[in-house]
Amino acid sequence: MSIILGLLSLIVSIALPVIIMVFTDFQVIHFSLFFIVPVGAIAVGYVCGFGFFKGLFLSHKKIKGAHFFIGVLMAIICLVSIKYATYYLTCFDEQTQDIVYTLDGDHISNYEIDGYGTMTFFNYNKYLIENTPITFSRRSRTLAEVSNPTFGWIIAIIDYLGIIAGCLLSGSSIKGKSEYCDTCNKYKKSKKIFKIPKANGKAFFDELETLVKDMNMDVFLEEIIQKHVNKGEKLDEYYECHLVYCESCRTASFKFKLFERTSKNKIEENSSFNYNIKVNYDLVRSYIDQNVA
């Protein structure tokens, strides 16, 4: 599955930027924000790696470092293919003295440019990097325009690295924080089951650690939720409980996330908080099926 989806996403990541360029003369991989953030290249790279990593995840293949290395190779193939497809379609219109993208025209390789020689694939791309003006704009207003070989290479390298970064980002986002069961060789499932106010956290966790092995876990959970959660109350800062479980080896655990208000007055997850506790699979699953389904 990962091979098929990987090839599909690779083809899309190559074809889409080329099609956009042919019809709009806009090069997606060279679009940046704040002057140097290669958002276009990152987006192309993300699409490039999405199918491959999604296929691994759906096939329950553990995503490892070797897979990210394959992602880097895919990003390089994507970049070279986009550049070559662009070069293959580049022709010169003698009447308008403009570059046009077509399969039926006077190809750019028939021309020479002083200092670069015949416009081969490598010479043409080198010429573009060193001579294409780079425009800096804000709110549709041009702030500056720079045409400098050194600066051109810096921007080009940033864009190329952006494609690689985007591909790796797709793998990281798909893998996310999903836990992998090495016993069953599959990704565990996760289900959000309840929230408790941050202020009630200490008392809740104390009771949880004391009673987690209680044979009436499902009853206990109902009681503790009623005790610590005010239903219908909009929580400001809170703990969010996720049931993480593997249906094959019948193991389960509670994984808690802490959401707090930041200095910018936004509620965000506190990434430094980590609280996991193992629970009885059968009793907890029974609780989930009876009360949340």
The tens digit of pLDDT for each residue in 77-129 reads 999 999 999 999 999 887 777 888 888 888 999 999 888 999 999 999 999 99
Boundary (domain end) residue, out of 153, 175, 197: 175
CA count, 13 A, side-chain hemisphere, 223: 10
Token look-up 């010479």 returns 123
Is the same domain home to 157 and 212?
no
H-helix segments, 101-228: 121-131, 149-175, 201-211, 217-228
Is the same domain home to 255 and 208?
yes
Kindly state the percentage of the chain with pLDDT values over 70. 88
Q: What's the confidence (pLDDT) of residue 84?
A: 96
Residue 163 in tokens: 């494609």
The tens digit of pLDDT for each residue in 230-241 reads 666 677 889 998
Kindly state the percentage of the chain with pLDDT values over 90. 44
Is the same domain home to 69 and 162?
yes
Q: Kind and range of the H or E element at 231?
A: none
Give the residue among 114, 258, 253, 147 at the shortest CA–CA distance from 199.
Answer: 258
pLDDT category at 11 given cuts 50, 70, 90 is very high
Q: How far apart are CA 27 and CA 124, in angstroms?
A: 16
Is the same domain home to 164 and 71?
yes
Is the same domain home to 136 and 249?
no
Question: Considering the chain, what is the average pLDDT of its residues?
Answer: 86
Mean pLDDT, residues 45-71: 95
Q: What's the confidence (pLDDT) of residue 271?
A: 86
Q: How far apart are CA 38 and CA 163, in angstroms?
A: 8
Is the same domain home to 164 and 216?
no
Boundary (domain end) residue, out of 130, 160, 175: 175
Domain holding 260, by residue range, is 180-291
How many C-beta atoms surround the C-beta of residue 52 within 10 A? 28
Q: How far apart are the first and last CA of the chain?
A: 30
DSSP character for 269? Answer: E
pLDDT category at 135 given cuts 50, 70, 90 is low
Q: What's the confidence (pLDDT) of residue 292?
A: 45
Q: How far apart are CA 62 and CA 46, in angstroms?
A: 19
Chain centroid to Cα 250, Å, comes to 31
Is the same domain home to 20 and 119?
yes
Contacts of 223 (CB under 8 A, 6+ apart): none
Contact (Cβ atoms closer than 8 angstroms) between residue 63 and residue 171:
yes
Is the same domain home to 51 and 190?
no
The tens digit of pLDDT for each residue in 202-224 reads 888 888 887 776 656 666 677 77
Boundary (domain end) residue, out of 175, 194, 224: 175
Q: How far apart are CA 243 and CA 277, in angstroms?
A: 10
Is the same domain home to 62 and 164?
yes
Q: What's the confidence (pLDDT) of residue 144?
A: 58
Is the same domain home to 258 and 198?
yes
Q: What's the confidence (pLDDT) of residue 137?
A: 62
pLDDT category at 293 given cuts 50, 70, 90 is very low
pLDDT higher at 284 or 156: 156
Contacts of 63 (CB under 8 A, 6+ apart): 53, 56, 57, 171, 174, 175
Q: What's the confidence (pLDDT) of residue 33?
A: 82
Question: What helix, strand, coil percent values describe the chain, rounded to 5?
Answer: 50, 25, 25
Q: Kind and range of the H or E element at 14?
A: helix 2-24
CA count, 13 A, side-chain hemisphere, 8: 11
Contacts of 291 (CB under 8 A, 6+ apart): 218, 222
Is the same domain home to 226 and 245?
yes
Is the same domain home to 276 and 194?
yes
The tens digit of pLDDT for each residue in 167-213 reads 999 999 998 878 899 999 999 988 888 888 898 888 888 888 877 76
Contact (Cβ atoms closer than 8 angstroms) between residue 173 and residue 68:
no
Q: How far apart are CA 229 and CA 223, in angstroms?
A: 10
| Total domains in the fold of the chain | 2
Give the residue among 168, 291, 208, 188 at the shortest CA–CA distance from 248.
Answer: 188
